[in-house]
Chains A and B, each alone.
Chain A
């Protein structure tokens, strides 16, 4: 079973929360390449949300190349790759880095401290991904 939890009240559209959480599970290795995501109606009933919300999240993940559909049936995690051009990837990331730098400035983190933190987080992600290797959900 896929353990996702949606936050209500902060206003982030539910389909975006789903996308973010699935991306997170893939990045941390809890969802391995080629593993199957739950069918739309199963996830909708588990989370008590409108099935169209799940359809939309899956569709956007598919457009982003993170999942693929097999024979019109299930939805599976892609092994790698993104349909974005290198410039698009760069632009998407640049926005996030900028937000990070601004937040850092307010919290008293300079560039160096942020880069250190990035390295720390990366090794933490790798460690979690290794810990989850071979684990099926």
Chain B
């Protein structure tokens, strides 16, 4: 499928951010089309939150450019915040307020706040209107955060590690909201997570970030079509896996090795056959396997047995 030539909702071009000597983001570029779920994947400290803060306008690009809905976030933060919903990883909600108070308070900032919708979400999330925020569980805090992020029906939803620290039930509820957002309202969602199975479920596009660099930027379909996991056998023991076209990750020792290849399946198969590696098993790798292959960087010739 070719991507339709629509105006992207979010454009990031050559974004670089340094904190002292550390390069938190290194020339990151991508564009997100309307109605897509964009999964931002990386280990803790990879740069996901820093990138999110640029999209929100709480960090100004030192180099490069960021546009969200045609707005440069730091130029017109008020205009932008009216059109996006944001759930931060640390869910910084005022702990002294009650649930209903926070809803009223937030409503004051948003002319488009949809109160019946907010109430429906509150009931669906089983949040007690009179409960003090300080007494809420982590799952309830996440749901309340999501409620106040969504009640003005923003066209763009930014979720920074929405599942972090949540149990399976709360995670499912959050995911369900993401799916409904896209299915019923055509919302564009940016979703950062280190839980690859979640991203695999809901993302259309995936960006893998590692040490501030964009390692992979592809649609989920492309990732699945261009990566293979293969177990190969050699006629005799080898101590080092030969350099081979498309092989991005190797693990093993002796005769049998597991490799992840990237590229045209037939071409990478021929390349393995050319080094006399017999393919004994072939499968589509999970997103997790693809991620590890790309970020663990070099090959693991010396994997411990």
Q: Which residues of A contact B (CB under 8 A)?
A: 6, 8-14, 40-41, 44-45, 48-52, 56
Closest chain-B Cβ to A105's Cβ sits at a distance in Å of: 14
Q: Which residues of A contact B220 (CB under 8 A)?
A: 13
Docked Cα-Cα span, A11 to B282, in Å, equals: 11
Q: B102 contacts the other chain (Cβ, under 8 Å)? A: no
Partner of B179, one of A6, A12, A14, A50: A50
A13 touches B284 (CB 8 A): yes
Which A residue sits closest to B227, measured CB to CB?
A11
Closest chain-A Cβ to B121's Cβ sits at a distance in Å of: 15
Q: B146 contacts the other chain (Cβ, under 8 Å)? A: no
Chain B, 194-246, CB within 8 A of any chain A CB: 197, 200-204, 220-221, 224, 229
Q: Which residues of B contact A (CB under 8 A)?
A: 37, 172, 175-176, 179-180, 182-184, 197, 200-204, 220-221, 224, 229, 283-286, 288-289
Q: Which residues of B contact A41 (CB under 8 A)?
A: 180, 183-184
Q: Which residues of A contact B182 (CB under 8 A)?
A: 44, 50-51
B229 touches A51 (CB 8 A): no
Take A44-B179, A48-B175 as given contacts and tell me if A8 and B201 are in contact as well, using a CB distance cutoff of 8 Å: yes
Take A44-B183, A50-B182, A50-B204 as given contacts and tell me if A8 and B175 are in contact as well, using a CB distance cutoff of 8 Å: no
Would you give 20 A-B contacts (Cβ < 8 Å), ordered by A?
Answer: A8-B197, A9-B286, A11-B286, A13-B220, A13-B221, A14-B200, A14-B201, A45-B176, A45-B183, A48-B172, A48-B175, A48-B176, A48-B179, A49-B179, A49-B202, A50-B204, A51-B182, A51-B183, A52-B204, A56-B221
Docked Cα-Cα span, A94 to B224, in Å, equals: 24
Q: Which residues of B contact A49 (CB under 8 A)?
A: 179, 201-202
Q: Which residues of B contact A44 (CB under 8 A)?
A: 179, 182-183
Partner of A45, one of B180, B197, B200, B288: B180
